[in-house]
Amino acid sequence: MSRQRRSPTSEEIRLWREVMRDAAPLRRGAPLPPPPPAPVAAAPAVPAAPPLASAPAAKPLPAAPLAHPPLVFGARAGLDRRTDDRLRRGQLVIDGRLDLHGMTQAEAHGALNAFVARAHREGRRTLLVITGKGSGGSVHMGTDREKGILRVAVPRWLGEAPLRPLVLAIRQAQPQHGGGGALYVLLKRQRP
């Protein structure tokens, strides 16, 4: 059974261009650089026991795989097409809202952590997080302040511990829910 090749979506093309924007072509015949080393999980500190004279040498443990893949803003990872389409279009029932307007980064980070953790414990799935669009002022042109500090930071926070294990996907909200100044956050289902 042969599989038909599909064309990439506009989102996949945009993501590819974003990833490749800093790439430079190699000279013909130039050796490829070595692949980056695999990430190694830090082992907990355990006091070392004195070596025994007759003990055989211990084999090194294989590196543990990453528990959760990186969270990519707008990616469909882990979602079926129908759910992803409904999330992107703002058609899922919003189970909770958090407005971060007027908060400092520290306040917003704490509020986001508490809100997402509580929503996950309560079995909620779709959240709306309002970050605001940013100042748009000319004083900070080209900086995160222009885009909105929280608008940039919230997707990053959702992809880091302790929230990453709880979050399945994030998408920009539709205009009726805040557009570029808000995010839909889809949480993973609780496992009994």
Is the model's pLDDT at 95 over the cut of 90?
A: yes
Give residue 137's pLDDT.
47
**Residue 121 · residue 110 · CB < 8 Å:** no
Tell me the average pLDDT across 129-145: 63
Tell me the average pLDDT across 138-153: 64
Band (183; pLDDT cuts 50, 70, 90): very high
Q: Is 103 exposed, middle or buried (0-12, 13-18, 19+ CB in 10 A)?
A: middle
* Ordered DSSP codes for 119-181: HHHTT--EEEEE-------GGGTTSHHHH-HHHHHHHHHHTSTTTGGGEEEEEEPPGGGTGGG
Label residue 52 left, alpha or beta by phi (over 0 means left) and psi (-120 to 50 means alpha): beta
Instruction: Please name the helix (run of DSSP H) or strand (run of DSSP E) that holds residue 187, with its range, or none.
Output: strand 182-187
**How far are the Cα atoms of 24, 25, 31, 36 from residue 28, in angstroms, in the given order?**
12, 9, 9, 22
Compute the distance between CA of residue 154 and CA of residue 159 in angstroms, rounded to an integer: 9
Compute the distance between CA of residue 147 and CA of residue 132 in angstroms, rounded to an integer: 9
Tell me the average pLDDT across 35-40: 61
* Architecture of the structural domain at 81-187: 2-Layer Sandwich (3.30)
Give residue 76's pLDDT.
66
Cα-Cα end-to-end distance for the chain: 39
Question: What residues does each domain of the chain span?
Answer: 81-187
Label residue 159 left, alpha or beta by phi (over 0 means left) and psi (-120 to 50 means alpha): alpha
Band (69; pLDDT cuts 50, 70, 90): low
Give residue 37's pLDDT.
64
